[in-house]
Amino acid sequence: MRWWLADADDRQATRHVRRFDPRWWLVDFPRPMMASVVTEGAESVVVRLEFQRRNDLAGLIWESADRWSHRLCALEERRDYRGLLWRFRWQASGDVLALDVLNGPVLTIEGRDAAGSPRTWYVRLWNYAVGTPMDAEIALDFDALVGGFLLPAEADPVWAGDIDRMFISLVPPGYTGADTPLLAVAQAEVRLTTLLLEGDGAVLRAGRPALPPHDWRLCTAYDDSYNQTPERILEQALLLGWRGAITHYLGMSHFMALLPEGDDYLVDPARPFCGPAQAWHADFLARAQALGFAPILSLSMELFAAHCPADWAQRDVDGAMGLTGWVPPSALLSPCHPGAQAWLQAVVAAAMALVPAGMAPAFQVGEPWWWVGPDARPCLYDSATVARWTGETGLPPPPMADIRGAKSPAEQAYLDWCGARLAEATAGMVAAARAAAPDVRTHLLFYAPQVLLYDRPDLARANLPAAWAWPAYDVLQLEDYTFVTSANQAGQARARAAVDALLGYPLAQQHYLAGFVLNAEDAAAQWPLIATAAAQSPAAERFIWAWPQVARDGFTPFMLVDGDDAMPAFHDVRFPLHLGYGAAGGPAFSTQVVVTGSGAEQRNAEWADARLEYDAGLGVRSEADLAQLLAFFRARRGQAHGFRFLDPLDNSSAMAGEPAATDQPLGVGDGSTTRFALVKLYGDDGLADDPPQRRRITRPWPETVLVAVNGVAQSGWTLGEAGHIDFATPPPPGALVTAGYRFDVPVRFASDRIAVSIAGWQAGELPGVPLIEIRED
């Protein structure tokens, strides 16, 4: 599998879509209200709303800059709306303010005036409507558009030449702007149908990648995509080559129905889904089925803390709620609370009921665990859990304020009991899925870095119960992205081994979830780690978490249609030594030099590292050498495969003599990182303001590698791929990691042709055999 982080400039194929195309509309709103947007045919967009408070306001949004699509699929950015005539039919039903009343629907336009100053205009739609306040034809001429409530008295002409975004505001009856509850939850639906746009600029270009199918799978999540139409997401996934299964997380913050309770809004046990989320998911599943996708609906025990009843949440020994590090935080539901588990089971049943006829139902229990809070405080002590333990044993639970280190027999017994309760809760969710869909395929998602850390050996008793062992679920899905993105390969390997040993799922019944990149600025560093982990996983299916990060960063996997993905790009063999010692060559940089009219120079170094080039033809000294060279060239198929080359002048970490474990600094420990890359530094000691040139070493001689931490030789490490040192235990914070080694240079032939003849060679004409370094890191 190949991949790259695509940019908008990588778009080679485009299509044309109408501006205001229903697929590209967005919706957003403040908590605790809910709203969703779906498409209905080629000319209609439907918004469903659930209002809670007198200041609730949802916006149906059009943005001039497409911030949500994958970079290869995005709309072109065009801020000039002059010359456009927009027509649509407005149809509203339920509890939403009508067009003709105060605070009724307004088109808010944000941009700049003709002088370039930021401006906002408020266009009352009723001023441009023909029909009734709940069903009207609306026509907006952007060259004659005027803001203001009463016209012409309050006219505020709109300049449409530089618009950032516009949105139609939707509010409930009883809207006052006050932060107080409505008398009852207000539900409504708004349709914009027969969307038509006329004039120059009515059509925009959009990317059309049309990549061939590949064999990695996609993850999506409602919490991250609630503001977009399902058609937009799934259509782009198809264009980018995604096929087959999609793991879709229902979420923990947006799908649920809510009821006011005092100043809070808590989940409504009687309604598993709010109306907007139910409509969105029905549309998502129907479109997924039409496009050939196979969704796996996922639900976790995580719930947005502001919507979580106080007695449902896991708590630590001091009674503090177990909160995640998200801002704002989420809570984890107690496996022992009957009300919490009954609600989860109702959500599962409602989700399975949304699966359309003809689609194979699939359900995932997502990341079930007893939470471990700050300072390693296990959250095993909510009142329902304590009461059940005491009722069964007659004893208070042993208090644990820190899960780290080995535990006493009494503590281990409690952890084992908590593990059985966790397995019981997940089995209840599966039973609810099977009751709603008897042929459902069940999945368990286990997140290893939360559980299998080296400093808390007994946590697995509670969070990896034996009752999960094969065949309790049809499929085990393993997730370890924190290990991957923190370069903790030792933790990754340890976790996989522990899960295999404890649960015993055959590889054919395992999936691997790779990802994710939380922050865009980390994309370049973390996506290679994620893609490598996915490529190396032996699981039957590999999933990438998740669509929002895939789209944001332009992550684009692909397979070569001619099968070259199965062909090794590198042969781990060395160029014949006696030929290499006769070669000539060395490092080359790429520098742009511009000479000004005065003779002064400006220089720009384009490469941070040199690239080595050699001519190996100079090492040919006999007909036997020539024959060996041709045989080696044929075996590499010209440029197709790389190989090792021993540079006779630079092949050791040591500048002189044999390598030592303290030759080259690899990095400084932080207490969690277990992987360090081999490097060699080149620099002048006298140039303190000029950092040394850093060279990655990807082809060391394994038998020569020596490693030290703070100058002390180490044995608890292995040599990973591409010249990485993998420690079994992470070096402590502040510890200097160093290494010594000998190495080869990864190279390839720089041509697919070698021109030689016996007569020419006998006459002193040596063949040109250029070699060029391969950048492997």
- Residue 661 pLDDT > 50: yes
From the CB of residue 521, how many other CB atoms can be counted at a distance below 10 Å?
A: 9
Rounded to whole angstroms, the Cα distance separating 531 from 516 reads 10
Tell me the two tokens of residue 632.
Answer: 């080696």
Question: What pLDDT sits at residue 764?
Answer: 47
Residue with tokens 């980390």: 522
**3-state class of 763 per DSSP?**
coil
End-to-end CA distance of the chain: 17
Rounded to the nearest integer, the mean pLDDT of the chain is 92
- Residue 219 pLDDT > 70: yes
Rounded to whole angstroms, the Cα distance separating 273 from 281 reads 10
Rounded to whole angstroms, the Cα distance separating 99 from 106 reads 8
Range ranked top by mean pLDDT from 135-139, 520-524, 631-635: 135-139
- Helix then strand count (H, E) for the chain reads 14, 48
- Residue 671 pLDDT > 90: no
Lowest mean pLDDT among 1-5, 405-409, 707-711: 1-5
**3-state class of 634 per DSSP?**
helix
* pLDDT (average), residues 689-714: 90
At residue 684 the predicted structure's pLDDT band, cuts being 50, 70 and 90, is: low
Lowest mean pLDDT among 361-370, 432-441, 644-653: 644-653
| CB within 8 Å of 481: residues ≥ 6 apart | 449, 513, 514, 515, 516, 530, 533, 545
Angle (nearest 5°) at CA 154 between 149 and 159: 90
Question: What pLDDT sits at residue 280?
Answer: 98
Lowest mean pLDDT among 339-353, 526-540, 619-633: 619-633
Count of residues for the chain?
777
Residues 244 and 217: beta-carbon distance below 8 Å = yes
pLDDT tens profile 99-116: 999 999 999 999 999 999
Tell me the two tokens of residue 774.
Answer: 């391969």
Percent of the chain at pLDDT > 90 equals: 75
Question: What pLDDT sits at residue 648?
Answer: 85
Question: What pLDDT sits at residue 588?
Answer: 79
Rounded to whole angstroms, the Cα distance separating 655 from 126 reads 80
pLDDT tens profile 449-498: 989 988 899 999 999 999 999 999 999 999 999 999 888 888 888 889 99
At residue 638 the predicted structure's pLDDT band, cuts being 50, 70 and 90, is: confident
* pLDDT (average), residues 216-225: 97
| CB within 8 Å of 327: residues ≥ 6 apart | none
**Ramachandran region of residue 210, left (φ > 0), alpha (ψ -120 to 50) or beta?**
left
- Residue 310 pLDDT > 90: yes
Cross-strand pairs, 592: 604
- Residue 592 pLDDT > 70: no
| CB within 8 Å of 293: residues ≥ 6 apart | 234, 237, 238, 242, 243, 244, 245, 246
Return the exposure string of 163-174: e unless at least 16 CB atoms fall within 10 Å of the residue's CB, then b.
Answer: bebbbbbbbbbb
Which amino acid, residue 581?
Y
Residues 196 and 19: beta-carbon distance below 8 Å = no
Question: What pLDDT sits at residue 689?
Answer: 58
* pLDDT (average), residues 732-746: 95
Rounded to whole angstroms, the Cα distance separating 285 from 230 reads 9
Question: What pLDDT sits at residue 672?
Answer: 84
- Residue 271 pLDDT > 80: yes
Tell me the two tokens of residue 611.
Answer: 């690239």
> Which carries the bigger pLDDT value, residue 748 or residue 559?
748
Rounded to whole angstroms, the Cα distance separating 195 from 44 reads 6
Residue with tokens 């039957």: 540
Q: Residue 183: is it exposed, middle or buried by C-beta count within 10 angstroms (0-12/13-18/19+)? A: exposed
Question: What pLDDT sits at residue 753?
Answer: 83
Percent of the chain at pLDDT > 70 equals: 94
Residue with tokens 């015993």: 504
* pLDDT (average), residues 659-678: 91
Task: Calculate Rg over the CA atoms of the chain.
Answer: 32
Q: Rounded to whole angstroms, what are the CA distances from 309 to 319, 334, 736?
A: 14, 11, 48
pLDDT tens profile 501-523: 999 999 999 999 998 899 999 99
Q: Which of 112, 111, 104 is nearest to 129 (CA)?
A: 104
Residues 234 and 35: beta-carbon distance below 8 Å = no
- Residue 692 pLDDT > 60: yes
Tell me the two tokens of residue 763.
Answer: 């006459």
Tell me the two tokens of residue 254.
Answer: 């947006």
- Residue 196 pLDDT > 80: yes
Tell me the two tokens of residue 102.
Answer: 């105060």
Rounded to whole angstroms, the Cα distance separating 549 from 509 reads 27
* pLDDT (average), residues 283-300: 98
From the CB of residue 262, how many other CB atoms can be counted at a distance below 10 Å?
A: 7
Rounded to whole angstroms, the Cα distance separating 428 from 424 reads 6
Residue with tokens 């119960």: 465
Rounded to whole angstroms, the Cα distance separating 303 from 347 reads 12
* pLDDT (average), residues 519-548: 94
Q: Which of 193, 294, 229 is nearest to 68 (CA)?
A: 229
pTM of the model: 0.83
Rounded to whole angstroms, the Cα distance separating 418 from 304 reads 23
- Residue 545 pLDDT > 60: yes
